[in-house]
Amino acid sequence: MNLAKVMGTVVASQKDEKLDGLRFLLLATAGPDGQLSGSSVVAVDAVGAGPGEYVLYASGSSARQTRVTDGRPVDAVVMAIVDSWEVEGEERYHKGRDD
């Protein structure tokens, strides 16, 4: 998985029928200090994440292991909203404080 920040949403009305009802989030990947790496990915939302939140996303076939993505042609899913993380015992991000 990777840390990422939700930057926005993508709208697509003409799509494979298995994608109906899914919400696409535009993510900016982030490093251990929360800084954005400059690369982006589009992931399906499985947890109700919103813009500005730090999340974890899973890629590849693992992205199809949630209830909402099972059997669908998607290769990335937001499967957790991050509360906090620490590096070498020091809290580097805490939701609400560092957003």
Which residues contact a second copy by CB under 8 A?
1-3, 7-19, 24, 26, 28, 31-32, 39-43, 46-48, 51, 56, 58-67, 69, 71-77, 79-89, 92
CA angle 42, 93, 23 (to 5 degrees): 25
Nearer to a second copy, 51 or 98 (CB): 51
Nearer to a second copy, 83 or 98 (CB): 83
Q: What does each C-alpha distance from 52 to 4, 16, 19, 91 come to in angstroms?
A: 10, 28, 24, 19
Nearer to a second copy, 39 or 98 (CB): 39
53 and 47 in contact (C-beta within 8 Å)?
no
